[in-house]
Amino acid sequence: MQTDSSFTFVLFGGTGDLSMRKILPALFEAHRAGGMLADSGKIVAVARHVADRSEYLQWVNEHVKPHVSKNGVDEAAWASFLARIEFAKIDLGNPDDFVLLRDAVKDLPGIRVFYLATGPSLFVPICRALASVGLNENARIVLEKPLGYDLKSSNAINDAVGEIFAEEQIYRIDHYLGKEPVQNLLALRFGNALFEPLWRREWVESIQITIAEELGVEARGDFYDNTGALRDMVQNHLLQLLSIVAMEPPHSMDSDSVRDEKLRVLRALKPINPLDIGKVAVRGQYHSGVIRGNAVPAYATEPGVKQNSTTETFVALKVEIENWRWAGVPFFLRTGKRLADRVAEIVVNFRPVPHSALGASALRAGANRLVIRLQPNETIRLYCLAKQPGEGMNLASVHLDLAFDQFFREGQMEAYQRLLLDVINGRLALFVRRDEQEAAWRWVEPILNEWKASNKPPKPYASGTWGPAAASAMLAQHGTCWLEEEN
């Protein structure tokens, strides 16, 4: 993925946690690889908590280095990366300071990328301030989630940003779409005759999509208590993964062809009847428990969380897609904090054979499945049945690993690295279009409204478990279970 695209990458929130853990490490890895970033490309960090460039580089040395190059840092590459970095001390609350930013970047080359690694309340003021000094020309803007609290607030942000930047200039980032297995899911489906004919209701029994975290809310109690798992994870990450799994083959991989097909999935989601929410939606909140031998506190006692909070930290949903490909196939979505393991995966359960001359084991659910693991290790595994060695026709489950690292010498690219390179090179396919975001909010809002109106507390679950028992019961009603429960 070599490029000659010159760029000036302006990073708002330059001292923030996201910049330190993800954005700058991703840019360093692209720089270290050679050829991915134009030699003339510059990074301009914007912050107000440090005095000047020298102090900022000290901050970067202290806070970014621990997150780069697992096998150690190449000091020559690190030094040349730091040489790319400039610094602008700016108070984002003072529009007059943006004149200083304009002066700092006016002589720097190439397309300007403005990455807003800030709270969403600053998105519109920053965009307006950029426009006031003419910096919205020849530019791209990257917006992190959450983009709004509901459909109305999301539209308000999009309307305001859309007055300043054209839609093709706006990159709404969802880092799950940049993960290697998600890209390989597209390759498996649309590049091979083996999978696509099976990717439909006649052969797929159910699909599970899980994003589970061991961590709690950590230092984000104030933010999380006003957000909850449905807004924080389902409206964006899980529904985006769902749309990738269920989309029709696009006529090409250009940005609008891919996003048009994702949008059709989101618009085909069956609306959840408020009277049925108790059957198809489970919300939970973690209590104290033990994770990997360490005692952890209940959500209600976390710093920043309101007393008697009813914010959910766990959501499980049964989702249906009303189209010919997927009619009648349940999609089970699940996300939560303080769960038993950190894992993100997509599980495609194929239907058992209609008749078996080999015994009942060939008819059991889950005998044939595809598991796409997104984290912590990125793998794709195909499960099937094979004869056990020895006498008789005894079947056992075996799996085929799609081990890409054994076929390709290049190391897997981290999600943020891929997505930042796509921004610099003007590739929009892996970013969320406004109409996708609106469709997701329209589907999610009735659930939010019903939970608020019912005023029922979330179901408790002990930290270190897989969530409320009701989430397992929901799948049991359909004759299935979560993947980890089979063992």
Catalogue the active-site residues: 237
Cα-flanking dihedrals φ and ψ of residue 24, to 5°? -65, -40
On whether the CB atoms of residues 89 and 404 are closer than 8 A, the answer is no
Amino acid at 319: V
Q: How far apart are CA 41 and CA 112, in angstroms?
A: 10
Please indicate if the annotation marks 345 as binding a ligand.
no
Q: How far apart are CA 172 and CA 432, in angstroms?
A: 5
Q: How far apart are CA 431 and CA 325, in angstroms?
A: 25
Please indicate if the annotation marks 232 as binding a ligand.
yes
Place of tokens 């040489």: 83
Please indicate if the annotation marks 135 as binding a ligand.
no
Please indicate if the annotation marks 145 as binding a ligand.
yes
Q: How far apart are CA 164 and CA 101, in angstroms?
A: 18
On whether the CB atoms of residues 272 and 446 are closer than 8 A, the answer is yes
Cα–Cα nearest to 131, from 157, 155, 102, 100: 102
On whether the CB atoms of residues 379 and 401 are closer than 8 A, the answer is yes
Enter the tokens of residue 474: 């929901």
Please indicate if the annotation marks 91 as binding a ligand.
yes
Strand (E) positions, 242-337?
Answer: 281-287, 289-291, 294-296, 314-319, 331-336
- Give the Cα-Cα-Cα angle 441, 243, 314 (nearest 5 degrees): 60
DSSP 258: H
Range 55-62, long-range pairs (CB < 8 A, 24+ positions): 56/14, 56/15, 56/85, 56/87, 57/82, 57/85, 57/87, 59/15, 60/20, 60/24, 60/85
Q: How far apart are CA 420 and CA 427, in angstroms?
A: 10
Q: For residue 309, what are the contacts with CB-CB under 8 A and spacing of at least 6?
A: 225, 285, 299, 300
Q: How far apart are CA 112 and CA 136, in angstroms?
A: 9
Q: How far apart are CA 24 and CA 18, in angstroms?
A: 9
Please indicate if the annotation marks 456 as binding a ligand.
no
Please indicate if the annotation marks 337 as binding a ligand.
yes
**Residue 279 in 3-state DSSP?**
helix
How far does CA 11 lie from the centroid of its chain? 20
Please indicate if the annotation marks 48 as binding a ligand.
yes
Alpha helices in 10-149 (DSSP H): 17-18, 24-33, 53-63, 75-82, 98-105, 123-132
Q: For residue 275, what are the contacts with CB-CB under 8 A and spacing of at least 6?
A: none
Please indicate if the annotation marks 175 as binding a ligand.
yes
Annotated binding site for substrate: 175, 179, 213, 232, 337
Annotated binding site: 48, 91-92, 145, 175, 179, 213, 232, 337
Annotated binding site for NADP(+): 48, 91-92, 145
